[in-house]
Amino acid sequence: MATPPPPPHPHATGPYAAGPAGPCVPQPYGAYGSHPQPGRYGCSLCGAWPAAPATVRGHQGLIVLMRFLSARGPFCRDCGLATYRRMSSDTLWQGWWSPLSLVATPVTLLMNLGPRAAFRRLAPPSGGFRPALDPGKPLWCRAPALLVLTPLALLALAVPALLLLGLVVGDDGPRPLQSGQCVRNDGDWSDQELVVTDCSSPRAEYKVSRPTAATGGTCAPGDYVARPEYSPDLTLNCLTPLR
């Protein structure tokens, strides 16, 4: 009658188990179906852990049609960032080519910020059955993003630049006249354009004066009256012809 084999040693469990020859021999990882967190799955692309469940979205505008794209799974940090950057980069140059896509594209890009934040919180991937994807360049350093962001940045800078230019250059309105100055009128009397001119210049046409008590507070006969914008203090300016 054959003698039954001896039972295994009570402490010979786990990755090291007593083999037929007696010494403890290391068993390959996964021999017992173990996982860093039992009952949960690793990255759907490389099998690495840790992984976060997420849906990365993309959008394409097709003149009169649209396509809504998505990639679902759990993703490790590197595969998730690679998927987010690829689909968002494609959306930046493919997503504007239909009327409704002008709204759908920004919404899609904003929705991808949630998965991006989840991927960035993960630890580096490990234990996968294949290497994780290379995340590549950040989204804002890629050509499609630069093509979109450059005109937007120029537009955003143009508004304050125009305001600053207006403050520096100032108002191009009429300058106040002072009594004793000589001017010429480069416009007509319905739309005066009075320019201060040297009184010795042959181009000088009128001399600026103020009404006096002798004239009853009005301009003398034959004088012209400057428009109110040439006198911010609302004082009447008379223009006496020089010839």
SS3 196: strand
- What confidence score (pLDDT) does residue 26 get? 42
Residue labelled with tokens 């609302």: 234
Q: What mean pLDDT do residues 120-143 have?
A: 90
74 lies in some domain = yes
- What confidence score (pLDDT) does residue 175 get? 80
Rounded Cα–Cα distance for residues 35 and 51 (Å): 12
> In this model, does residue 107 exceed pLDDT 90?
yes
Total tally of structural domains belonging to the chain: 2
Question: Do 56 and 146 fall within a single domain?
Answer: yes
H-type alpha helices, 95-226: 101-111, 113-120, 143-169
Query: Worst-scoring range by mean pLDDT, 52-56, 95-99, 145-149, 225-229?
Result: 145-149
187 lies in some domain = yes
- What confidence score (pLDDT) does residue 5 get? 57
Question: Do 83 and 128 fall within a single domain?
Answer: yes
* Dihedral angle of Cα 32, 33, 34, 37, to the nearest 10 degrees: -160
173 lies in some domain = no
CA 44, distance to chain mean position in Å, is: 32
Average pLDDT for the chain: 79
> In this model, does residue 7 exceed pLDDT 60?
no
Question: Do 197 and 132 fall within a single domain?
Answer: no
Question: Do 143 and 196 fall within a single domain?
Answer: no
Quote the domain boundaries for residue 84.
Answer: 52-151
For the record, the structure tokens of 129 come out as 């059955």
Are 92 and 109 in contact by the 8 Å Cβ rule? The answer is yes
79 lies in some domain = yes
Q: What mean pLDDT do residues 91-107 have?
A: 89
pTM: predicted TM-score of the whole model, two decimal places:
0.51
Considering 151, 174, 199, which residue would you say is the last residue of a domain? Answer: 151
Q: What mean pLDDT do residues 107-131 have?
A: 93
- What confidence score (pLDDT) does residue 166 get? 64
| % of the chain with per-residue pLDDT over 90 | 31
- What confidence score (pLDDT) does residue 13 get? 45
How do residues 9-58 score in pLDDT, each as one tens digit? Answer: 444 444 444 444 444 444 443 333 344 554 456 999 999 999 999 999 99
- What confidence score (pLDDT) does residue 220 get? 83
How do residues 167-193 score in pLDDT, each as one tens digit? Answer: 665 555 678 888 889 999 888 777 788
141 lies in some domain = yes
Question: Do 139 and 90 fall within a single domain?
Answer: yes
Question: Do 121 and 187 fall within a single domain?
Answer: no
